[in-house]
Structure 1
Amino acid sequence: MNSSFQEMGFPNRDNKIPILVVPFPAQGHMNQLLHFSLLLSSHGFPVHFASSSIHNHQARHRLQGWTSASLHNITFHDIPIPSLPPSTPNPNSIHNFPSHIIPVLDSVIHHLRSPISSLLHSLSSSSSPLILIHDPLMSFIGHDASFISFIHTFKFQCVPAFTQLALIYELSSKPSPQDNHILFSPLPNSCPEELWTFHRKHDYESPYEGVLINTSHAIEEPFIDLLAKEDNFVGKKIFTVGPVSPLTVTDRMSGPRHPCLEWLDRQPPKSVVYVAFGSTITMSDGQLKEIALGLEKSKQRFIWVVRDADRADVSNETELDVAKSLLLEFEKRVEGMGMVVRGWAPQLEILAHGSTAAFMSHCGWNSCMEGMSMGLAMLTWPMHTDQPRNALLITEYLKVGVMVREWEKRDEVLKWEKVDETIRKVMVHEEGVEIRRRAKELGESIRSGTMEGGSSHEQLSAFIDYISGFK
């Protein structure tokens, strides 16, 4: 479990103030909010976690770093919803955004609103005050809460302060106060129009007292300070409580240990590149072939997670249709050097393993935080939405990684030579020694921030003290 936040300097208060947590029903959002819910429950708060029965099952099933027993400290409200519309990822889409999931999310939110609003009334009537923490993309619940007395509402941001700040500047055409123009350069088409349409449809005026951000001062202190000066944040409490995921991964959920961890046990320290592109990415067969060849040519040890983007119901995941014969032949050629994992992988345990040195990632913020917290060098391959900004933060500001594919080449199939080049740059070349050193130092700073006296520890303590004052 997360020994830093859970055991370092926090009394296990018998808090009676209930907390209702409402995540956005997508893996990268649900995972962060479930981790944070477990942190709050470990400090004595009765926490309620509300989503569809399908998505709550997904969040619980994929949780890593906590014991199974810890889930009993949270009350899950598994809201039944009608059958979801079909959703099949398109590996040949003109952009990498998972457009197939938009109708699903639209349907889920439509069916969640009434039951969650009823739950809000029920919890607020049985005990006052009530703390509401919701994803900004679930702003309907903040809107509904504004009509009920004694509810204190907070938004939980699943992206870093820098990315929020860059989006504010881009949408308002406001000149950035930074000298580094690379960081704030325009990134066209990072969000497809269908996502903006979805956002406008579900965006409600939603008053709130404060913002919780899964980040830390060690990562982006200047941007946190700048964000606090923006109109939407002036007068709001800002708590930078990251990382919310466990830092000491010793206790596992029930079940057998994944074979890839046994494979990692046999590898030398800091010798393995972990390659995974999250839960929203489907690669074309052509791109998979290039990645495979790049990994093989690099002659570096690797674990490569190959899977399609999530469908509507992940409990009904099917076998990948991608280049099965290619992967079988590839696995034979790289036997002993690398391992292909099909489907879901225990990412947190892989990143925390002593044999893992670097992480090739799509740069969803959940993955970024997990990788940086473990002190790993990052090989960034952003696909959509916040990911291009997150990648710039890592490569241009923190300088703890290298860019695998530049954003301006996002519509091209990346050739194996570039995959090979960036892996070698981090794992073999002299430049990589410095990158890995900085990554190790950043990881140490992030982890020390969660210990007593550290910035993240103080921020979480400040939030706990703040809401405890509502008794």
Structure 2
Amino acid sequence: MSKAEIIIIATPAIGNLVPAVEFATHLTTTEPLLSATILIIHMPQRPLVSDYTGSRATAAAGGNIRFLHLPPADPPNPDQYQSSVAFISILVEKHKPQVRHLLTNWDNSIRVAGFFVDMFCTSMIDVADELGIPCYLFFASPAAFLGFMLHLPTLNTQLSELTPEFDESETELAIPSFCNPVPPKVLPSFFLKRNGDDGYSWFLRHARRYRGAKGIVVNTFQELEPFALKSFSSPDIPPVHPVGPLLDHVGPAKWLSDLSQSEMIMTWLDQQPTSSVVLLCFGSMGSLSVAQLREIALGLERTGFRFLWSLRESARGKLGLPSDYSDVQDVLPDGFLERTAGMGLVCGWAPQVAILAHRATGGFVSHCGWNSILESLWHGVPVATWPVYAEQQMNAFELVRELGLAAEIRLEYRQGSDLVLAEEIERGVRGLMEGDGEVRERVKETSEKSRMALMADGSSNVCLEHLIEELMAEI
């Protein structure tokens, strides 16, 4: 058989790029006749993305995956947009001429079998259609949220019938990918701000394009989200391929230049008893107010549990990423670090994957980003939900109410909302570390299923092989 190429373009954000690169790795490892080119859009506000792609490109040199930086487009002015999604969507759209030129002048000796675009890159479907290249959607969020996005155009037509007070009401929505009615308070921020934020119009625009894809690849597995995946049986929805969990099992530890903090954290964990430490980490884009940090500190101190707390300072500007505090004592209660010196460790950036894999980690207070959820399930570490932004509230709702795989601190919390008080944090951490044995047992079972899904004859591996057959048939 002839060799074939797949092209992948993803949003310039770690949460989008990492699973896309892992997907390319799975594809090219499973089928050596496939190679992959990952198109990179430069975004100077996020140097972390450049560090990641640079390191992965070096590691992949000479293999079946290459990273290709697109020539820069005239960037939009961030100040013209209310949301980062609007800015990023425009930025991606401005790169259509570069992608069109690249694919038009592609080496004819290697056929392009498929073009994979992520959830915010749907404008690239136009380029694929113009050139007759099969185009697929790569969806890095859960199948349940994919169902919400597919349902969004229908929901949008119903909004005119809803009162302005709907978002604060007890009225619940029937969304086909959720078996339980969904309360408005856990809907994504873009939906709740639909009348005063340009993010909603862009989400709606992307959602309408999803049905134009030849297929949809989702970073999930059949055993985790059976109800949501079954909801995609409608003939007007493209075939859905659950091929996950797609995980970077080493994480940034293999591409950060300064590993001193990571080594310090792992040395500290080595000294802790098995399953005794609760990890608090809110993702590469998550940060909390100083007032909230002090409530967390008080709550942790009251529990008496060992803890590892990744504490980040809010980003400057809507497109930036959180950074480490120069001195965490400035934002914590007086004497907190001294009083907890024998039981806890407060740090900046933390190697989350390595921490979750460590025997000492017994629980995870998480922002409920999908990559983090999959990592915690893979390693059998139960989660207490504390969503912050994006679709994380819906992820938390799915974990707690749909799947019974997490303890609850909050489901509806989001950046800038009311404080979660120390008493509630203490109760949530105790519930996570001492509480429901059924949740911990279900997480352990799901961990085993996640690994089996990727084995020979596992559900995700079978789906991946069917997708490869479809791609190779194109040549």
Q: Give the alignment's TM-score, normalised by structure 2.
A: 0.81
Question: Which residue of structure 2 aligns with residue 119 of structure 1?
Answer: 102
Question: Which residue of structure 2 aligns with residue 212 of structure 1?
Answer: 217
Give the secondary-structure state (helix, strand or coil) at the position aligned to 2:95. helix
Question: Which residue of structure 2 aligns with residue 4 of structure 1?
Answer: none
Question: Which residue of structure 2 aligns with residue 51 of structure 1?
Answer: 40
When residues 126 and 180 of structure 1 are mapped into structure 2, their CA distance, relative to the original with a 3 A threshold, is: closer
**Aligned residues: percent identity?**
25
Following superposition, the deviation at residue 86 of structure 1 comes to 8.9
- 8 Å CA contact retained: 2:220, 2:243: yes
When residues 388 and 470 of structure 1 are mapped into structure 2, their CA distance, relative to the original with a 3 A threshold, is: same
1:436 alignment partner AA:
R
Determine which of 414, 421, 429 is the counterpart of 1:423.
429
Question: Which residue of structure 1 aligns with residue 468 of structure 2?
Answer: 464
Distance in 1 between residues matched to 2:74 and 2:305, nearest whole Å: 45
Confirm whether residue 438 of structure 1 aligns to residue 427 of structure 2. Answer: no
Spell out the pairing of 1:39-118 with structure 2 (5 A cutoff): 39-43=26-30, 44=32, 45-54=34-43, 58-59=48-49, 61-62=51-52, 69-70=59-60, 73=63, 74-81=65-72, 101-102=84-85, 104-105=87-88, 108-118=91-101
Following superposition, the deviation at residue 465 of structure 1 comes to 2.2
Following superposition, the deviation at residue 123 of structure 1 comes to 2.7
When residues 250 and 208 of structure 1 are mapped into structure 2, their CA distance, relative to the original with a 3 A threshold, is: closer
Question: Which residue of structure 2 aligns with residue 346 of structure 1?
Answer: 351
Which has the higher mean CA deviation after the structures are superposed, 46-55 or 287-296? 46-55
Distance in 2 between residues matched to 1:83 and 1:307, nearest whole Å: 31
Q: Give the alignment's TM-score, normalised by structure 1.
A: 0.82
Spell out the pairing of 1:46-445 with structure 2 (5 A cutoff): 46-54=35-43, 58-59=48-49, 61-62=51-52, 69-70=59-60, 73=63, 74-81=65-72, 101-102=84-85, 104-105=87-88, 108-123=91-106, 125=108, 127-149=110-132, 151-169=133-151, 172-173=154-155, 175-176=174-175, 181-182=180-181, 184-187=182-185, 188=187, 190-191=189-190, 192-193=193-194, 194=197, 195-199=199-203, 205=209, 207-229=212-234, 231=236, 233=237, 236-246=238-248, 252-253=254-255, 256=259, 258=262, 259-308=264-313, 319-320=324-325, 324-327=329-332, 329-342=335-348, 344-407=349-412, 411-429=417-435, 431=436, 433-445=437-449
Following superposition, the deviation at residue 365 of structure 1 comes to 1.2
Distance in 2 between residues matched to 1:128 and 1:67, nearest whole Å: 22
Determine which of 22, 41, 52 is the counterpart of 2:9.
22
Question: Which residue of structure 2 aligns with residue 8 of structure 1?
Answer: none
Distance in 1 between residues matched to 2:25 and 2:243, nearest whole Å: 13
Which has the higher mean CA deviation after the structures are superposed, 283-292 or 221-230? 221-230
Question: Which residue of structure 2 aligns with residue 5 of structure 1?
Answer: none
Distance in 1 between residues matched to 2:344 and 2:71, nearest whole Å: 42
Following superposition, the deviation at residue 242 of structure 1 comes to 0.4
Which has the higher mean CA deviation after the structures are superposed, 351-360 or 330-339? 330-339
When residues 454 and 316 of structure 1 are mapped into structure 2, their CA distance, relative to the original with a 3 A threshold, is: closer
Higher RCO by CA contacts (8 Å cutoff, separation 6 or greater) = 1
Which has the higher mean CA deviation after the structures are superposed, 151-160 or 14-23? 14-23
Q: Which blocks of at least 5 consecutive residues in structure 2 are unaligned?
A: 156-172
When residues 341 and 86 of structure 1 are mapped into structure 2, their CA distance, relative to the original with a 3 A threshold, is: farther
- 8 Å CA contact retained: 2:119, 2:138: yes
Distance in 1 between residues matched to 2:248 and 2:367, nearest whole Å: 21
2:473 alignment partner AA:
G
2:37 alignment partner AA:
H
Q: Which blocks of at least 5 consecutive residues in structure 1 are unaligned?
A: 1-13, 89-97
Distance in 2 between residues matched to 1:15 and 1:355, nearest whole Å: 49
Give the secondary-structure state (helix, strand or coil) at the position aligned to 2:231. helix
Which has the higher mean CA deviation after the structures are superposed, 194-203 or 23-32? 194-203
Aligned pair count reads 441
Distance in 1 between residues matched to 2:383 and 2:219, nearest whole Å: 18
Give the secondary-structure state (helix, strand or coil) at the position aligned to 1:281. coil
Question: Over aligned residue pairs, what C-alpha RMSD do you find?
Answer: 3.6
